[in-house]
Amino acid sequence: MRGNAQGPSPAGADTPPPEQAPSGREAESERWNLYFQATSIGDYHGTFRSPYEGPLSLQNHSERDVSITSTLFFTVRLEPDTFLIFDPEIAGGKGFSGVEGIANQPNGEIPRVASATPKPYIARLLIQHDFGFGSEKEHQDSDENQLAGGRPMTRYSIYAGRFTITDYFDDNNYTHDPRTQFMAWGVMYNGAWDYPADTRGYTWGIVQELHTRNWAFRYGIVAEPQLANGSVFDRRLFRDHGQVWEGERRYSWRNRAGALRILGYANRAQAGNYGEALKLAAATGATPNVTLTDRVGTLKYGTGISFDQAINADAGIFTRLGWNDGKTQSFAFTAMDRLASAGISIKATRWHRKYDVVGTSLTAGGLSAVHREYLAAGGLDFLIGDGRLNYAPEYVWESFYSARLFPDFFATFDVQRDTNPAYNHDRGPVTIYSIRLHFGLSLKPWQM
């Protein structure tokens, strides 16, 4: 569920001339680089109002959970415009109540795996190739999954292999990485985008991108899991797969970088339908179960908007909006049909802490009418289900302060106030406190 997407200029930075390049060794093209990161997040919540509970409710007792991930990011240049990316990763830990009971889960480092045992796996293994047009170049800094050097300004790029689809879509300069920015699921990504992935947030497929000076157009087609929240991918790729389209416009407002992205998606999977589940339950007198209505190739579609704008050298604002059809089973990300999110991120330069960042955001998640009716009748999604429902939008207010304690080592204190967890006005609100420790380092050819 972590990305290294290409996005706009750093927060608050002036828009540089496209041909501007650093001097000395930084202007060289890297042949390879190796980055490492380790992130640990500790979460806590206390008791809250809970007149009843269901099979997938957030438990009304104090919970303390810890997650940890460590990742190697290896990138090598095979040809001038061809790259191999390989990221092995180890992740362990679990979320509150088995990662259940909240649609906008508080810890973006926790996958949808209710197991505390650390396990190794391949996060990314892909080939990237650029077809350049014209002589104009833009400089690219050394980073995770990214080699320093010039890259064609106008290019057609192909990415093929294993990755997370959020590496390339739904980017946002101020909220896209739960290891360094906001942590709640519906803030780090668009919660109404049921993006195709296994339980750890990764998939297999192909992404194509046409990039120009101010515009980018992307298309991806990737594998869906066999079952909702599943770890095994569906091999019926001609019937079950996820497709996503995005257009991006980058611009400068008063010499400050901004971007607007519009996304659309159409997923086909062996998924169910909430309305059909209600009809089946009425005919049989049973509790509705959406999995009893699943069919191969069921369509789920939606759209989203991501916007960010630097205000000055230290501050920037962002917003996301999301919508999906609301009638098809929530399948791979979270149970959310509507999303509105906005916030601000500020560097602490004024109090002489230029590497520190403070941010605050408010996110509202919602459900379609038939989805509400399904949950009110006792139906379960793979993340939420209180047995009944007094519907209200789920609001999450998140604020954090990230402080650099040492070079490459950051500590973050984060507070989230979740009102109406799992869209249930009868339960909550609940306050969640988190501490995040993040460390990263790099090895580059000229440092040897």
Query: What is the 3-class SS of 345-394, one letter each residue?
Result: EEEEHHHCEEEEEEEEEEEEEECCHHHHHHHHCCCCCCCCECCCCCECCE
Distance, in Å, from the CA atom of 139 to the CA atom of 260, rounded to the nearest integer, reads 22
Say what the pLDDT of residue 94 is: 83
Regions of the chain with pLDDT less than 50: 1-26, 447-448
Both tokens of residue 112? 């949808």
Say what the pLDDT of residue 25 is: 46
Say what the pLDDT of residue 115 is: 65
Q: 429 preceded by cis ω (within 30°)?
A: yes
Q: Average pLDDT of the chain? A: 92
Q: Which run of H or of E encompasses 278?
A: helix 274-284
Say what the pLDDT of residue 209 is: 98
Contact 171, 5 (CB under 8 A): yes
User: Angle at the Cα of 235 (from 229 to 241), degrees rounded to 5?
Assistant: 65
DSSP state of 290: G
Both tokens of residue 300? 């789920």
Find residue 137's DSSP bridge partners.
152
Find residue 34's DSSP bridge partners.
74, 443
Say what the pLDDT of residue 255 is: 93
Chain centroid to Cα 283, Å, comes to 39
> Alpha-carbon Rg of the chain, whole angstroms?
22
Pairing of strands 353-366, 409-419: unpaired
N-terminal to C-terminal alpha carbon distance within the chain: 32
Distance, in Å, from the CA atom of 430 to the CA atom of 418, rounded to the nearest integer, reads 5
Both tokens of residue 326? 């609301």
Pairing of strands 315-324, 338-348: antiparallel
Residue appearing with tokens 């992404």: 207
Residue appearing with tokens 């896209």: 176
Closest CA to 318 of 308, 328, 305: 308
Contact 303, 322 (CB under 8 A): yes
| Cα distances (angstroms) measured from residue 17 to each of 14, 148, 260 | 10, 17, 20
User: Angle at the Cα of 269 (from 243 to 294), degrees rounded to 5?
Assistant: 155
